[in-house]
Amino acid sequence: MHWLAEVHVALRSGIADPEGQTIGSALRSLGYATVTEVRSGKLMRIAFEAVDHAAAEDAVTEMCLRLLANPVLETASWDLRADEQQDAEEALP
């Protein structure tokens, strides 16, 4: 079965975010005076195969722990869904 994961990685609260500060400052200089904070992060879209939802969750958890996020500095969260379109395309003769 095919799965799609959108993994969001962000710096932990309390960790300085110079990129976010620069973006926030730039937004305020463009006239968005109500912007009080910007935290930057990363979004990764990952397509992969797993036998079921539990195995897919385990795979994404392992990906985050082993490569995608530094657990000392960052948090990772994700949205996981079955890629029904890919599965349907493969089922066609």
- Say if residue 39 is exposed, middle or buried (CB neighbours under 10 Å; 0-12, 13-18, 19+): middle
CA–CA dist 48, 39 (Å, integer): 28
Topology (CATH) of 2-14+41-91: Mth169; Chain: A , (3.30.1280)
CA–CA dist 88, 33 (Å, integer): 48
Residues 6+ apart with CB under 8 A from 72: none
Any idea where the domains of the chain sit in the sequence? Answer: 2-14+41-91
Whether this prediction's pTM lies above 0.85 is answered by no
Per-residue model confidence as pLDDT tens for the chain (93 residues): 999 999 999 999 999 999 999 999 999 999 999 999 999 999 999 999 999 999 999 999 999 999 999 999 999 999 999 998 765 666 666
In residues, how long is the chain?
93
